[in-house]
């Protein structure tokens, strides 16, 4: 851990008490399941090869400690319970607590566990916590494969995911975890910042509500040049500005910069906090908790998809994996012709992409690739497949995993670029402040829109501030992203049927290959070192209208994310997997999804792939496995629930093909069937899509909502469909064009 970092990113609970509300009986059952997920093992239990692990006393002690330790150890079960109540949907919480309650009784255990709970002594039926560890493991293995009572299976799967995430991300007050040394993981030490200045680039315009109170907030706002009045009767602080932007990510940051450069007084609302490079700790758990929506644990309603979305100043651009790929030509053609939006094939849009790339410092070269990208590149080369370098918004020498913020200060997110430009032109950014509802009134202008937007009501997330904010503006821009903009529009009274629909997620499944470390290995480094995405392979498509069936890239997987997503077959197998963590290379298969989901209520995402998506995903998974085998992996596999894998030593093409023929994307844990998958998503778009009419979209070609004058959307939700590549450049370029059109709107107003 960095010696100096922000207190919120440091870890440790301090004096905070647990508030999960689980009963003693429920905690007893939960603790027993946690012990099954990660049990204590004898030293001779693992199939450890000496050449794979150091033989010094220190390493042996850390290995022995890892084998001895269990996830049942305090405070892990309480942390899991806390995460269940804070991160899960209410129906999931109820389901888990009912199952835990049943397992705390003899009759309930008999119903759920069958004869395995029977003992030799009175009363003969044991509750779950009194069953031997060996039998409890068999019970969990049975439930994770159960074909029909899938809600019970989902309970065990959720606890498994959360237990492993908590265990491998938990840190004490010194930023240490008892398992990290044994599994070969080290948190990056203090990085020397490229920019040696310790200043906060947004200090001039930032108001951090976590440092404010009722007695100070009004004056702080006034000091930033805002017109502020207090309605004491209603306890509402009223603020006036020219343009209000809700959200500070790829869309909101660009909008703030463009509007402020045109001379408008801009206010940006951001519910996350502001961090600078010297604040980042690179600790997976605390960083995910502070920098990602729902702490990085956001699942679809059926738990099929785990969704990653940034929630900090800079939004996704502060934590994304730096890929800067321009909108593919065929996608622009489709949007322009099929969706009848010529804007996307215009010189205006093409110029916007160039302006965006220039402002965020996109470079094409990479002087040194990390372990996973070395594997991807070598495997493609050995197969004669094309592999491209991925442009990034950092220097070509950038060798840093920035998914928890860039401690070197080299990655050019919106907080370092567009928002810095906006603040230089007197924009104000209010952090820890969540928009609740847009202010709408009847519109008498006769332009066809029934309502007119006057601004927004918002609340701070600081309990010391009891007053609400009412921010009035000439134009209001929703830039909260594809997951948050639709619920905000709907809760404000907008009725357009496209709002919240057409949600695309770029669903992801992973494959992995194990490459033991040796002196003669051509792949240097470890899985958590180096740039996250520097190479990409496009799986060819037979369809002339598409660039590819899928793209194959490399992910950032800290030990907790690695553990949470890996299949669990047994406690012993899982500890063996974790000991291989540093040299297990993952490849992600991303598809341009044709199916779409919806998000009309905050936190409730519905999504399912169609048959075309499944076929494209299958093609990508097979190609990724071939790449790993060609690169020299000794073992490869998928994340299918049964632990699907293949040992590669001495096998021929027939065995490889037989294995690949068995690879297929499965449904989620809640769907019938013995095998299942957990999908991931880091790209969400399309949920307020642009359309030529209110029947076709939620906003027009200028980004203005069809129902409310002066209310614009400027984020990934306006994209007509999935992009098929990492969408940062597409989102910022679209936002750049919409923002300039808003400037024209204000000029006419």
251 is an annotated ligand-binding site residue: yes
φ, ψ (nearest 5 deg) of residue 229: -135, 150
CA separation for the pair 305, 423 (Å, rounded): 37
Q: How far apart are the first and last CA of the chain?
A: 52
Question: Radius of gyration of the chain from Cα atoms?
Answer: 26
402 is an annotated ligand-binding site residue: no
φ, ψ (nearest 5 deg) of residue 510: -115, 150
272 is an annotated ligand-binding site residue: no
Are the C-beta atoms of 325 and 390 separated by less than 8 Å?
Answer: yes
405 is an annotated ligand-binding site residue: no
Write down the pLDDT at residue 543: 77
Which two tokens mark 590?
A: 């991303």
CA separation for the pair 671, 668 (Å, rounded): 6
CA separation for the pair 389, 708 (Å, rounded): 43
The residue count for the chain: 749
255 is an annotated ligand-binding site residue: yes
243 is an annotated ligand-binding site residue: yes
107 is an annotated ligand-binding site residue: no
Q: Does the bond joining 123 to the residue before it have cis omega, within 30 degrees of 0? A: yes
Query: Of 20, 504, 639, 683, which one is the catalytic site residue?
Result: 683
309 is an annotated ligand-binding site residue: no
253 is an annotated ligand-binding site residue: yes
Are the C-beta atoms of 550 and 539 separated by less than 8 Å?
Answer: yes
Which two tokens mark 104?
A: 């705390």
202 is an annotated ligand-binding site residue: no
Alpha helix ranges (H) inside 265-416: 284-291, 316-319, 329-337, 347-359, 371-383
> 26: buried, middle or exposed (CB in 10 Å: 19+, 13-18, 0-12)?
buried
Q: Which of 400, 424, 426 is nearest to 411 (CA)?
A: 400
CA distances to 280, 325, 650 from 687, rounded to whole Å, are: 32, 21, 49
Reduce the DSSP state of residue 38 to 3 states and report it: coil
Write down the pLDDT at residue 49: 45
Residue 747: alpha-carbon gap to chain centroid? 38
Write down the pLDDT at residue 325: 98
Alpha helix ranges (H) inside 500-545: none
246 is an annotated ligand-binding site residue: yes
State which residues of the chain have pLDDT below 50.
Answer: 49-51, 196
Decide the pairing of beta strands 206-208 and 451-460: unpaired
Active-site residue 683, yes or no? yes
CA separation for the pair 92, 85 (Å, rounded): 9
Residue 731: alpha-carbon gap to chain centroid? 17
pTM: 0.96
Concatenated DSSP letters of 611-637: HHHHHHHHHHHHHHHHHHHHHT-SEEE
117 is an annotated ligand-binding site residue: no
Residue 646, strand partner residues: 636
Write down the pLDDT at residue 329: 96
pLDDT digits (tens, 9 = 90+) for 127-172: 999 999 999 999 999 999 999 899 999 999 999 999 999 999 999 9
């Amino acid at each position: 851990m960095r010696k100096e970092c922000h207190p919120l990113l440091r870890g440790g609970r301090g004096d905070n008490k647990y508030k999960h509300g689980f009963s003693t009986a429920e905690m007893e059952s939960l603790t027993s399941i946690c012990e099954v997920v990660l049990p204590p093992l004898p030293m001779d239990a693992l199939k450890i090869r000496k050449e794979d692990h150091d033989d010094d006393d220190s390493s042996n002690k850390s290995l022995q400690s890892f084998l001895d330790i269990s996830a049942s150890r305090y405070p892990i079960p309480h942390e899991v319970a806390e995460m269940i109540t804070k991160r899960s949907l209410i129906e999931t919480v109820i389901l888990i607590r009912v199952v835990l309650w049943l397992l705390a009784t003899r009759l309930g255990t008999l119903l759920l566990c069958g004869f395995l709970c029977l003992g030799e002594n009175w009363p003969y039926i044991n509750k779950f916590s009194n069953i031997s560890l060996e039998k409890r493991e068999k019970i969990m293995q049975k439930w994770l494969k159960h074909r029909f009572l899938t809600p019970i299976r989902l309970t065990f799967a959720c606890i498994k995911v959360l237990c492993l995430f908590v265990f491998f991300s938990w840190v004490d007050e010194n930023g240490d975890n008892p398992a990290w040394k044994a599994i070969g993981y080290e948190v990056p030490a203090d990085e020397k910042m490229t920019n040696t200045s310790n200043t906060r680039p947004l200090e001039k315009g930032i108001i951090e509500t976590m440092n404010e109170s009722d007695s100070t907030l009004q004056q702080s706002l006034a000091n930033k040049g805002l017109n502020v009045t207090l309605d004491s009767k209603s306890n509402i602080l009223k603020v006036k500005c020219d343009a209000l932007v809700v959200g500070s990510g790829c869309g909101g940051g660009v909008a703030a910069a463009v509007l402020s450069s045109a001379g408008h007084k801009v206010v940006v609302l951001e519910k996350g906090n502001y961090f600078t490079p010297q604040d980042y700790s690179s600790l997976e758990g605390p960083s995910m908790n502070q920098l990602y929506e729902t702490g990085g644990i956001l699942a679809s309603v059926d738990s099929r998809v785990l969704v990653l979305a940034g929630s900090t100043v800079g939004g996704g651009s502060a934590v994304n994996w730096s890929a800067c790929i321009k909108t593919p030509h065929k996608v622009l053609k489709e949007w322009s012709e099929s969706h009848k939006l010529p804007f996307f094939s215009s010189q205006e849009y093409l110029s916007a992409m160039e302006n965006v790339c220039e402002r965020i410092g996109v470079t094409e070269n990479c002087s040194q690739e990390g372990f996973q990208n070395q594997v991807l590149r070598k495997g493609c080369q050995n197969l004669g497949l094309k592999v491209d370098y991925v442009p990034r918004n950092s220097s070509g020498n950038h060798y840093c995993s920035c998914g928890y913020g860039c401690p070197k200060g080299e990655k050019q997110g919106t907080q370092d670029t567009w928002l810095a430009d906006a603040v230089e032109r007197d924009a104000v950014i209010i952090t820890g402040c969540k928009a609740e509802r847009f202010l709408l009134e009847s519109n008498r202008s006769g332009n066809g829109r029934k309502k007119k937007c006057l601004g927004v009501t918002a609340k701070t997330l600081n309990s010391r501030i009891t007053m609400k904010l009412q921010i009035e503006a000439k134009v209001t821009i929703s830039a909260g992203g594809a997951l948050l903009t639709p619920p905000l529009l709907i809760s404000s009274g907008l009725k357009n049927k496209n709002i919240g629909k057409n949600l695309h997620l770029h669903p992801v499944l992973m494959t992995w290959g194990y490459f033991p470390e040796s002196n003669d290995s051509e792949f240097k480094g470890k899985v958590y070192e180096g740039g996250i995405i520097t190479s990409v392979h496009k799986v060819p498509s037979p369809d002339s209208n598409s660039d590819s069936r899928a793209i194959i890239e490399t992910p950032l997987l800290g030990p907790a994310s690695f553990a949470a997503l890996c299949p669990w077959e047994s406690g012993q197998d899982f500890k063996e997997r974790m000991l291989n963590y540093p040299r297990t290379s993952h490849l992600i298969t991303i598809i341009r999804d044709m199916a779409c989901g919806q998000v009309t209520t905050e936190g409730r995402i519905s999504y399912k792939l169609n048959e075309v998506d499944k076929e494209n995903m299958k093609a990508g998974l097979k190609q990724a496995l071939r790449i790993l085998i060609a690169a020299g992996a000794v073992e490869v596999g998928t994340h299918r629930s049964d632990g699907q894998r293949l040992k590669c030593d001495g096998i021929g093409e027939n065995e490889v093909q037989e294995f690949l023929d068995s690879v297929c994307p499965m449904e989620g844990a809640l769907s019938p069937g013995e095998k299942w998958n957990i999908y991931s998503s880091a790209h969400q778009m399309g949920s307020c899509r642009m359309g030529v009419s209110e029947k076709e979209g939620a906003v027009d070609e200028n980004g203005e909502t069809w129902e409310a004058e002066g209310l614009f959307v400027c984020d990934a939700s306006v994209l007509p469909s999935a992009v098929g590549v990492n969408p940062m450049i597409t989102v910022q370029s679209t936002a750049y064009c919409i923002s300039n059109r808003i400037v024209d709107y204000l000029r006419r107003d």
